[in-house]
Structure 1
């Protein structure tokens, strides 16, 4: 459902407080996975649990991807639990394919996502409950599954002289297609999958942009399959950081870049030839400490995102290391709160698994006060 449900929302004046057992914040892959397992555990959407999403429509962060990122080009799109993602037109924008799939999913399992709703803050409530304050009212809940992802917090590093640049600077979150860069020299900054995708798109045969790729570290292209054993080792490395209360690493920093056929072809054409990152920005381009300079019209920051957790600040969940320490998905400082899509569960497959495991723990938390635990499906 796309609209806030009439009769199910408390008053916007803040006077009314609605009760629910669980709040799910975010309706992307992780949030919908959690809502699915809550549904199959016997909790009723809209009363026992509520799902908030600040986006205008279904699709999670996928709905904001650039239109030229077709479903065939998209990386890491996986099915949600209980419903296969099949039959997507490879030539359609990934935002359209995934958005339609998420919509069907919400309807199939009657998840009653409330949108658009912005969660402003989560605070300590009364009676051991959490107080969830939104722009459409306030809820009192016993547990919180936070699945807000990273899209709302694009990361822009600072380099000396950045404010003097006379050209255009934008983050990948604002990229809409290669056509607007025709005839321009674009410096693409960043070593992740998005940077590689954009470089290939900007340099497609017949394209009119020139590009220079700069990264802090030499990229590592992985030709071997990303199999189950490798996946477990990657998750273990990321999990170790969040267990220490450190900010999670990017997935690519652990896995490397997938050397697909398209990537191999782009490397052969010289499209993915990397330069070390510059030391400063000039009015007309970038410069290195050794005296080299490069003129540029655009600096495209493919520098990733950070976890969108500002609304949880009142709970003081962060550790001295800057991250949130987790045991699985559970926040060590507050076992009522789980972070999904954070750290080892940041991938779409990881988000599915995190949804299931977090609901197991939430089930136990609720049962501690209400009697026997509720069932959770095996699949």
Structure 2
């Protein structure tokens, strides 16, 4: 399917953020067309070959931190499952159905390489499927495509297998291997728990001792605390945020591994060696593989040619009138951001957290389009 020559809005990314935005945009459009205004020309460009966003690339045993009824996008509740927390496959099914129900024009697979200023006042998107002119662009690319590799002494000399979170598929692929998992967050804990009992040896290393959240604390509490933190900071008050609660949510697999004593993090190795690591006490240990659960960064390399101001690893953004969420570029009013985490909305990188920033973004963007017209 060929790309249109021009659109009012181009959305880059077809995952959960794009779907939340698309839902709110459709609601606004119904009101506009009822007043006799022409429909907006909107296209979603998704680099994945199928619906589901980055969830379809994650390891099968990964689980959400909240029950299904508290993990929904706007417009439709996520169906329940037999498990306490849904797995990645269930999320993919939910996102696929959400996309179908609300009839978004999604083109895939289409990868955007660059954005430049257009002569007619819009932005020009260069893709592997052609060139597209857009009056406004919403970036909803997430972070999955831009992994972060921490600087670890000697890692380049290690002759074993080096995986990142996004490369990990299942414990069976590392059966009987000696594996070191590096990182202090939820991904590291879930991967280490997954490997226990299948890999020959599993070690977990972090820069500081990870703190497990109480067993009754999950994503529902985290979202509430994150929202409270944003409101407090906006009022000029101090708030410790979710970091004060702990690092790791005790989903079933993690809770079981922790209680059985197999999930204990140790200090980071002093350095890597060709055959493994040297620990701070001078002792050495052999490993066949290392899994780096060291996080991600916003996947926004396609914006580098626009000369934007970057702060803290992401483009500077501001909040449109009537919204607390900094979802609009501070340098280019045609450019918008959604779903990258706290810098553009509290917990906006989560299924339940992206809804409100998506609503405000859709409202502000349509207002901007109408004012331009």
Instruction: Tell me if both proteins adopt one fold, taking TM over 0.5 as the criterion.
Output: yes
Partner-residue secondary structure (3-state), 1:22: strand
Spell out the pairing of 1:119-268 with structure 2 (5 A cutoff): 119-204=112-197, 207-223=198-214, 225=217, 226=221, 229-235=224-230, 256-260=247-251, 262-268=253-259
> Separation in 1 of the partners of 2:117 and 2:371?
20
Cα drift, residue 335 of structure 1? 2.3
Q: 1:65 to 1:251 in 2, by over 3 A?
A: farther
Gaps of 5+ in 2: 236-240, 319-325, 343-347
Cα drift, residue 369 of structure 1? 1.9
> Separation in 1 of the partners of 2:372 and 2:28?
16
Alpha-carbon displacement from aligned partner over 1:336-378 (angstroms, at most 9, x marks no partner): 21111113222222222221111111022112123xxxxxxxx
Query: Are the counterparts in 2 of residues 238 and 343 from structure 1 also a CA contact under 8 Å?
Result: no
Q: Paired residue for 1:75, among 58, 65, 88?
A: 65
Q: 1:301 to 1:138 in 2, by over 3 A?
A: same
CA RMSD across the alignment? 2.9
1:66 is aligned to 59
> Separation in 2 of the partners of 1:57 and 1:303?
27
Cα drift, residue 121 of structure 1? 0.6
1:39 is aligned to 26
Q: Paired residue for 1:366, among 346, 351, 369?
A: 369
Cα drift, residue 237 of structure 1? 9.1
Q: Paired residue for 1:116, among 106, 109, 120?
A: 109
> Separation in 1 of the partners of 2:108 and 2:128?
11
Cα drift, residue 68 of structure 1? 3.7
> Separation in 2 of the partners of 1:50 and 1:27?
10
TM-score (norm 1): 0.82
2:238 is aligned to none
2:358 is aligned to 355
Alpha-carbon displacement from aligned partner over 1:16-37 (angstroms, at most 9, x marks no partner): xx12111111111101111111
Partner-residue secondary structure (3-state), 1:221: coil
1:13 is aligned to none
Query: Are the counterparts in 2 of residues 185 and 296 from structure 1 also a CA contact under 8 Å?
Result: yes
> Separation in 1 of the partners of 2:229 and 2:127?
36
1:335 is aligned to 333
Alpha-carbon displacement from aligned partner over 1:57-90 (angstroms, at most 9, x marks no partner): 0000000112344xxx333562221112104465
Query: Are the counterparts in 2 of residues 184 and 209 from structure 1 also a CA contact under 8 Å?
Result: yes
1:246 is aligned to none
> Separation in 1 of the partners of 2:304 and 2:149?
21
Partner-residue secondary structure (3-state), 2:296: coil
Alpha-carbon displacement from aligned partner over 1:255-277 (angstroms, at most 9, x marks no partner): 62223454343222222211111
1:26 is aligned to 13
Deviates more, 1:256-265 or 1:75-84: 256-265
> Separation in 1 of the partners of 2:279 and 2:50?
44
Query: Are the counterparts in 1 of residues 42 and 105 from structure 2 also a CA contact under 8 Å?
Result: no
Alpha-carbon displacement from aligned partner over 1:136-156 (angstroms, at most 9, x marks no partner): 122211211100011111112
Q: Which has the higher contact order (CA 8 A, sep 6+)?
A: 1
Deviates more, 1:52-61 or 1:260-269: 260-269
TM-score (norm 2): 0.83
Report whether the alignment pairs 1:295 with 2:298: no
Q: 1:208 to 1:322 in 2, by over 3 A?
A: closer
